[in-house]
Amino acid sequence: MYRSARFDEPLLNELLSTSIKENKTKIDKFQNSIKRTEAINIPNLDETQVVRHFNRLSQMNYGIDTGIYPLGSCTMKYNPKICEEIAAWPHFSETHPHQDESTIQGNLQILFELERMLSEITGMDFFSLQPAAGAQGEFLGLLLARAYHDYNNDNYRTEVILPDTAHGTNPASAAMAGYNIIEIASNSEGTVDLDTLEKTLSEKTACFMLTNPNTLGIFESEILEISKLVHKSGALLYYDGANMNAIMGKARPGDMGFDIVHLNLHKTFSTPHGGGGPGSGPVGVKMKIEKFLPVPRICKNNYGEYYFDYDTPYSIGKIKAHYGNFSVLLKAYIYILLMGGNGLKEASEIAVLNANYMKDKITASKNYVMPYKKNRKHEFVLSCEDLKKRRDIRALDVAKRLLDYGLHPPTIYFPLIVKEALMIEPTETESKEELDHYIETMIKIAKEDFELVKNSPKNTAVGRVDDVGATKNPVLNWQMIQS
């Protein structure tokens, strides 16, 4: 490791306590004190070596451009390159969020129209494009629920109810928004138990959070009944839209009775994700919640000009700097225009077909079992419990062995109500050949040599990591890279 000269902390503190003008000489002294005293020890390589090094590193990565990525609940679909190309145009990429409204009419028109498109797709009345992720959308949604109840002098509602299949971000967001979390058990079909829900709802319930289809990939067919029960108690119904890829053009959360929804543009609307890049989790609401949406709202006046409206006295304020992740919003807008209404509907149909094709072929092999109802939407959850009992092969082992075949594993150990879970979401952008190859590989792994599977992966840059050791003895600084 290289290190600069000793950091003069007392001098820095002295500087911070007085004004900059008075301290020109002290600043110089401080700057000199942090200058390097020895030459930097960096490797001296030629261009060929540098290019090869970084190229090799890039090849160790795996992304949707490398192959199938059936990570359940994440909708890792192919990201059309034309969306990237257009979003990179300087007309878009060189605009600044502080520019005058009159100079960014085109950008505002895109945001305005995207809000209308998302409203149409979900059956909601209004949208806010601000949240930068699904989880931030949930947080905004719950702040809106609180503002709504407060406005109606209903501020004794302190509880948020969730099914035990809920994504981990749901309870986390509800807790961040200051709510107590009540988890209810699913019924034997893997869906919401109406009796349990009815008993749990009370004048203390602020909101019931649900995704439909749920995280098992099962459509909650009693959704209208659920909606009736929730509204009868005076609570709101929240839709986690991360599974919207299953139902676009087929069914709308707004029509099912949901009051607040969030979407994941970086899932359903094909903007790149993974690796912690920018995301987008817009929130849609019914009319009765509109006045609480974040500022600024994007509006259009009688002359057809777009403008920011900050004059909304009941707004919960701002949830993120500026107006959301513009380039992500732009890519989703292009994607929706390219697909059109029928295209989106067809995407959902193929996503559901692909998931059910894989599900039926894999379960027919009898190596993996699938608990709960048999019909699934865009994803399905298998269990390796039987495989574990018979051969001591766990979901984690299957996932690791898939890596040896150059395939990205599914989500594992989620949702928690399925033991040894493998959650598979192929999406609509994979060919039958890709699906067949994945199915065959999974079946093959279930029968493979025990030691081979247990000691996998062998063909990857990094072997099986010691996850227990990493949890008990985390090393999170530069020493981790050196060891």
Ligand X SMILES: *Cc1c(COP(=O)(O)O)cnc(C)c1O
Minimum distance between the CB of residue 170 and ligand X, rounded to whole angstroms? 6
Task: Compute the distance between CA of residue 221 and CA of residue 224 in angstroms, rounded to an integer.
Answer: 8
Main-chain dihedrals φ then ψ at residue 199, nearest 5 degrees: -70, -30
Please say whether the beta carbons of 297 and 125 come within 8 A. Answer: no
Side chain identity at 391, as an amino acid letter?
Answer: R
Minimum distance between the CB of residue 281 and ligand X, rounded to whole angstroms? 5
Please tell me whether residue 79 binds ligand X under the rule CB under 6 A: no
Minimum distance between the CB of residue 324 and ligand X, rounded to whole angstroms? 13
* 189 CB-side CA count, 13 A: 14
3-state secondary structure 225-252: HHHHHHHHCCCEEEEEECCHHHCCCCCC
Q: Which is nearer to ligand X, 133 or 399 (CB)?
A: 133
Please tell me whether residue 381 binds ligand X under the rule CB under 6 A: no
Q: Which is nearer to ligand X, 268 or 356 (CB)?
A: 268
Main-chain dihedrals φ then ψ at residue 33, nearest 5 degrees: -70, -20
Please tell me whether residue 242 binds ligand X under the rule CB under 6 A: yes
Please tell me whether residue 171 binds ligand X under the rule CB under 6 A: no
User: What residue has token string 């919401």?
Assistant: 192
Q: Which is nearer to ligand X, 50 or 175 (CB)?
A: 175
Q: Which is nearer to ligand X, 266 or 359 (CB)?
A: 266
Q: Which is nearer to ligand X, 169 or 356 (CB)?
A: 169
Please tell me whether residue 330 binds ligand X under the rule CB under 6 A: no
Task: Compute the distance between CA of residue 27 and CA of residue 16 in angstroms, rounded to an integer.
Answer: 10
Beta-carbon neighbour count of residue 141 at 10 Å? 30
Minimum distance between the CB of residue 71 and ligand X, rounded to whole angstroms? 10
Please tell me whether residue 169 binds ligand X under the rule CB under 6 A: yes
Please tell me whether residue 257 binds ligand X under the rule CB under 6 A: no
- Residues 268-327 within binding reach of ligand X (CB under 6 A): 279, 281
Please say whether the beta carbons of 251 and 344 come within 8 A. Answer: no
User: What residue has token string 């062995």?
Assistant: 401
Q: Which residue is nearest to ligand X (CB)?
A: 134
Pairing of strands 205-210, 236-241: parallel
Minimum distance between the CB of residue 213 and ligand X, rounded to whole angstroms? 10
Please tell me whether residue 415 binds ligand X under the rule CB under 6 A: no
Which of 264, 270, 325, 383 lies at the binding interface for ligand X (CB under 6 A)? Answer: 264
Minimum distance between the CB of residue 132 and ligand X, rounded to whole angstroms? 8
Please tell me whether residue 167 binds ligand X under the rule CB under 6 A: yes
Number of residues that bind ligand X (CB under 6 A): 13
Q: Where are the alpha helices (DSSP H) in 22-166?
A: 24-33, 47-59, 81-87, 90-93, 105-122, 134-151
Please say whether the beta carbons of 69 and 409 come within 8 A. Answer: no
Q: Which is nearer to ligand X, 108 or 332 (CB)?
A: 332
Please tell me whether residue 159 binds ligand X under the rule CB under 6 A: no
Q: Which is nearer to ligand X, 240 or 430 (CB)?
A: 240
Please tell me whether residue 425 binds ligand X under the rule CB under 6 A: no
Beta-carbon neighbour count of residue 212 at 10 Å? 24
* First-last CA distance in the chain: 13
Q: Which is nearer to ligand X, 112 or 127 (CB)?
A: 127
Please say whether the beta carbons of 119 and 125 come within 8 A. Answer: yes
- Residues 119-148 within binding reach of ligand X (CB under 6 A): 133-135
Minimum distance between the CB of residue 129 and ligand X, rounded to whole angstroms? 14
Angle at 421 between CA 418 and CA 427, to 5 degrees: 115
Q: Which is nearer to ligand X, 133 or 382 (CB)?
A: 133
User: What residue has token string 């865009």?
Assistant: 378
Residues that bind ligand X (CB under 6 A): 73, 133-135, 167, 169, 211, 215, 240, 242, 264, 279, 281
